[in-house]
Structure 1
Amino acid sequence: MGFEVNRFQGEVDEELVCPICSGVLEDPLQAPICEHAFCRECIQEWISRQPTCPVDRQNITSAQLRPVPRILRNLLSRLYITCDNASYGCTSVMKLDSLSSHLEECEHNPKRPVTCEQGCGLVIPKDELKEHNCVRELRALIHSQQQKMTDFQQEMAEQRFQINEQKRELQLLKDFMRAMRISNPAMRAIADQMERDEVLRWSNSLTRARVTRWGGMISTPDDVLQQKTVHNRCLLTSKMLKTMMQNSVTTNWFQYGAHEKHLWSLFR
Structure 2
Amino acid sequence: MGYDVARFQGDVDEDLICPICSGVLEEPVQAPHCEHAFCNACITQWFSQQQTCPVDRSVVTVAHLRPVPRIMRNMLSKLQITCDNAVFGCTAVVRLDNLMAHLNDCEHNPKRPVTCEQGCGLEMPKDELPNHNCIKHLRSVVQQQQTRIAELEKTSAEHKHQLAEQLLHPSRSPQNHAALTPVNVSLLSLPRWVNSLQPARVTRWGG
**TM superposition score normalised by structure 1:** 0.57
1:127 match:
127
- How far did 1:84 drift? 0.7
- Taking the aligned partners of 2:5 and 2:85, their CA distance within structure 1 comes to 16
2:98 match:
98
C-alpha spacing 1:175/1:128, structure 2 compared with 1 (3 Å): same
Q: Residue deviations 1:15-73, cap 9 Å, x none?
A: 11112221111111222332221112222233344333332334433343222111001
Contiguous gaps of at least 5 residues in structure 1? 189-268
The letter for the 1-side match of 2:94 is M
- Taking the aligned partners of 2:148 and 2:46, their CA distance within structure 1 comes to 42
1:57 match:
57
Alignment of 1:99-248 (within 5 A): 99-147=99-147, 168-177=173-182
The residue matched to 1:76 in structure 2 has which SS? helix
C-alpha spacing 1:134/1:174, structure 2 compared with 1 (3 Å): same
- Taking the aligned partners of 1:147 and 1:114, their CA distance within structure 2 comes to 28
The letter for the 1-side match of 2:143 is H
2:25 match:
25
The letter for the 2-side match of 1:174 is A
- Taking the aligned partners of 2:39 and 2:156, their CA distance within structure 1 comes to 50
The residue matched to 1:129 in structure 2 has which SS? helix
Identity %: 55
1:40 match:
40
Contiguous gaps of at least 5 residues in structure 2? 166-171, 194-207
- Taking the aligned partners of 2:57 and 2:184, their CA distance within structure 1 comes to 81
- Taking the aligned partners of 1:152 and 1:32, their CA distance within structure 2 comes to 61
- How far did 1:182 drift? 6.8
- Taking the aligned partners of 1:22 and 1:81, their CA distance within structure 2 comes to 16
The residue matched to 2:94 in structure 1 has which SS? strand
- Taking the aligned partners of 2:34 and 2:159, their CA distance within structure 1 comes to 60
2:78 match:
78
- Taking the aligned partners of 2:96 and 2:102, their CA distance within structure 1 comes to 10
C-alpha spacing 1:50/1:158, structure 2 compared with 1 (3 Å): farther
The letter for the 1-side match of 2:17 is V
When the two chains are superposed, the root-mean-square deviation of aligned CA atoms in Å is: 3.5
2:196 match:
none
Which protein has the larger Cα radius of gyration, Structure 1 or Structure 2? Answer: 1
C-alpha spacing 1:72/1:160, structure 2 compared with 1 (3 Å): farther
Q: Residue deviations 1:89-143, cap 9 Å, x none?
A: 1111111111111112212111111121211121111111111101112222333
